[in-house]
Amino acid sequence: MISHILRSGLVLVALGSVLRAEPLAALSSNGTQLAPQGGTVVLTATASYDNNPAALGWEVVLPPDWSLVGVSGANVPDIAPTKGSTGTMEFAFVTIPAGKAEFALEVAYPPNAAGTTVESSALFRGDGKLTTVRPEPLTITAPASRGRTATRN
């Protein structure tokens, strides 16, 4: 009985080392509706992993006319675009945090900006392979209309 339990335990240990969890990535925001006068929104990029990758990078694609205000958080990437950058933002870590990397991007959007989506991807290199994780696109809606519509009878 004990030898059977020990063999089962060894099989589970062996399976556990083979069945590693894939890395995860998410992009979220501090708001999902834009203001009519324009403003900023904070996007938070989070990557988590069981085994520290040898390399970790992020790509965040900003909508047209949006620009980077700044990058902050617990794990600011070592390589990041400069303030005012537009389009595809590329970030990379030289020193990779243990277990999880999270940082925030403050981005500016113009007045009367239309609803949009923000796409992103996280790239993990480890165990001799490159894994790309694409979080669900982040949907941000247009401002609610403030005006009233008049009707005639």
Cβ neighbours around 125 below 10 Å, total? 13
Q: Supply the pLDDT for residue 88.
A: 98
Q: Which residue has the tokens 């005012």?
A: 84
Taking only the tens place, the pLDDT of each residue in 32-62 is 889 999 999 999 999 999 989 999 999 999 9
Convert 34-81 into a string of H (helix), E (strand) and C (coil): CCCCCEEEEEEEEEECCCCCCEEEEEEECCCCCEEEEEECCCCCCECC
Whole-prediction pTM value? 0.79
Amino acid identity at 67? S
Reference 45, options 103, 88, 129; nearest CA is 103
pLDDT per residue as tens digits for the range 6-33: 334 433 333 333 444 789 999 999 988 8
Q: For residue 150, is pLDDT > 80?
A: no
Q: Report the alpha-carbon distance of residue 139 to residue 77 in Å, rounded.
A: 24
The encoded tokens of residue 32 equal: 């999902």
